[in-house]
Amino acid sequence: MAKEKKAPKPKAQTPKGFRDYFGTEVTERAEMLAQIAGVYHRYGFDALESSAVETVEALGKFLPDVDRPNEGVFAWQEDEDGDKGDWLALRYDLTAPLARVYAQHRNDLPLPYRRYAMGPVWRNEKPGPGRYRQFYQCDADTVGSGSVAADAEICAMLADTLEVVGIPRGDYIVRVNNRKVLNGVLESMGLNDDAQRDAVLRTIDKFDKVGEGGVRELLGKGRLDASGAYIDGVGLNDAQAEPVIAFLTSKGETAAQTIENLKAAVGDSAIGAEGVAELEQIADLLAAGGYGPDRIVIDPSVVRGLGYYTGPVFEAELTFEILDEKGRKRQFGSVAGGGRYDDLVKRFTGQPVPATGVSIGVDRLLAALREKGRIGSQSTGPVVVTVMDRDRMGDYQAMVAELRSAGIRAEVYLGNPKNFGNQLKYADKRNSPVAVIEGGDEKANGVVQIKDLILGAKIAESASLEEWQDRPNQFEVPRDQLVSKVREILESYS
């Protein structure tokens, strides 16, 4: 009889494009999300937690840069008693689910409906450095208000949020534009071909990289890029390209100057004039709220990529410099973006429903905070109560209970207590600040030993430093002073 082959062991590896997050990273994210939620809540937004799975039909064709609704998402088809059922997919953002939620529950929701949502989203895209298939988003949206006051409020809230989480004023700027203005520019150019319009939009999006001269070349015959490769242009003549250049270079010293320049750029376009008027109103509202150009500016170069934006668009950019993988200085870049999308809910209801919102890239914002040194230091582990006698586990559990009741993070060592050195190695690996020791003699005398592990590490690193050598790193205290002494040590390092 042939010997049955054993099934191969599964590989212990993370799927491509995904990653695992451990203690400190998870804690940092949770703390930041709580700070953001606090700002959103203060602005009157309510929390919403929608399903992570949607029908592909509900997600629609609004996924960026794809043609088919199930391309770019993780999707599968339901099997209902042998028959093929609906196609389902993991959500690729938090906005498309909001449109479905509002359409489904609109009779029970206030109008306008202000909600915020936080959670992971999934995109079936090719992963790359720092680009994962699962990542966190943090959104806030107002559904049911066509007033640009809602857009201005989102911009103000975004600025407040960045400062609350630790990005100081001067290290960020929220830039605001309006898709209606851009549509007006395209209208004034007389472009009727959708492919040509899309090519112009892609070219405008490169303005911050190639500048005015580069955009002129790309709108015309084309240009050589930095690598020497020739990039074909859109094929416009100088007269056709001029409205785009006027639009991109319309940013003035003040919001009022920018508005006047934009009025000239859109020419006789009615939709363009409407967009300029909305920007002017947003600028006035933000100024009334005390949000000056050091925080929020009208900037015509902002072109959000998603096709569903119908009005104001905004983007939060971090302006401080970092070093890239080659050691070159560059600005950190965008960490949040959004805008008005008045047609998204219409897919479900058949009626236009105005909406505007913003999405913060949580992982990028965390990376920015690490670059600024606001987070990323090694987190402090729990106080470890060592085990000197297996038969007295109840005594050790009582100590831990007292520490926890006092609000101090603590745990009993649950490994093999035979080797005491291993217990201290464990405490070091956990980055524990304090170890508690109670052997038979300590128990008989009603005392405990408290070992200051932070001080011990400093002495080990530099034994010549007298400031550390003169301080004891282990104390014997009465058992009833356990909590007060541990707290005293912890507070000395806070």
**pLDDT tens digits, 247-296:** 888 888 899 999 998 988 888 889 999 999 999 999 999 999 999 999 99
Which pLDDT score is estimated for 65?
47
Tokens 């999300």 belong to residue: 33
CA distance 373 to 177: 31
CB atoms within 10 A of CB 311: 23
CA distance 306 to 303: 9
The Cα angle at residue 208 between residues 232 and 282, in degrees rounded to 5: 125
Q: Give the pLDDT confidence of 411-436 residue by residue, as tens digits.
A: 999 999 889 999 999 999 999 999 99
Which pLDDT score is estimated for 121?
93
Which pLDDT score is estimated for 325?
61
Residue 164: partners with Cβ closer than 8 Å, 6 or more residues away: 35, 36, 38, 39
Bond prior to 110 in cis (omega within 30° of 0): no
Q: Are 220 and 212 in contact (CB under 8 A)?
A: no
How much is the pTM?
A: 0.83
Q: Give the pLDDT confidence of 45-93 residue by residue, as tens digits.
A: 999 999 999 998 888 754 544 454 457 888 888 877 767 788 899 999 9
- The conformation of residue 128, written as its DSSP 8-state character, comes to B
Is residue 114 predicted with pLDDT exceeding 60? yes
Q: Which two tokens stand for residue 156?
A: 């103000």
Which pLDDT score is estimated for 304?
66
pLDDT higher at 413 or 465: 413
Q: Give the pLDDT confidence of 163-206 residue by residue, as tens digits.
A: 999 999 999 999 999 999 988 888 887 776 777 777 787 787 77
Beta strands, E only, 39-133 = 46-47, 53-55, 75-80, 83-90, 113-122
- How much is the average pLDDT of 295-301? 91
- Cross-strand partners of 115: 46, 141
Using the CB atoms, write b or e for 59-69: b if 16+ within 10 Å.
Answer: bbebbeebeeb
- Range of 80-84, 119-123, 151-155 with top mean pLDDT: 151-155
- Cross-strand partners of 384: 411, 435
- Inter-CA distances, 249 with 2, 180, 211, 264, Å: 78, 17, 10, 12
Per-residue confidence band for 377, with pLDDT thresholds at 50, 70 and 90? low
CA distance 398 to 107: 54
* Bridging pattern class, strands 172-178 and 312-323: antiparallel
Any idea which of 32-36, 208-212, 366-370 has the lowest mean pLDDT? 208-212
Q: Which two tokens stand for residue 327?
A: 């050691």
Per-residue confidence band for 152, with pLDDT thresholds at 50, 70 and 90? very high
Virtual torsion, Cα 61, 215, 356, 135, nearest 10 deg: 60
Pick from 397, 389, 487, 480: nearest CA to 434: 487
Tokens 């498309």 belong to residue: 96
In order of start, what are the domains of the chain with their CATH numbers? 16-146+342-379 (3.30.930.10), 167-332 (3.30.930.10), 383-492 (3.40.50.800)
CA distance 224 to 364: 31
Is residue 41 predicted with pLDDT exceeding 60? yes
Q: Give the pLDDT confidence of 313-343 residue by residue, as tens digits.
A: 999 999 887 766 666 666 778 899 999 988 8
Which pLDDT score is estimated for 112?
95
- Inter-CA distances, 109 with 52, 84, 103, 114, 148, Å: 21, 34, 10, 10, 21
Please give the backbone phi and psi of residue 7, each rounded to the nearest 5 degrees, phi first: -65, 140
Is residue 113 predicted with pLDDT exceeding 70? yes
Question: For the chain, what is the mean pLDDT?
Answer: 87
Please give the backbone phi and psi of residue 225, each rounded to the nearest 5 degrees, phi first: -85, -175
Q: Are 215 and 248 in contact (CB under 8 A)?
A: yes
Which pLDDT score is estimated for 488?
94
- The conformation of residue 131, written as its DSSP 8-state character, comes to B
CA distance 396 to 376: 32
Per-residue confidence band for 2, with pLDDT thresholds at 50, 70 and 90? low
Is residue 406 predicted with pLDDT exceeding 90? yes
CA distance 21 to 295: 33
Q: Which two tokens stand for residue 465?
A: 């430093």
Q: Give the pLDDT confidence of 208-232 residue by residue, as tens digits.
A: 778 888 888 888 888 877 777 788 8
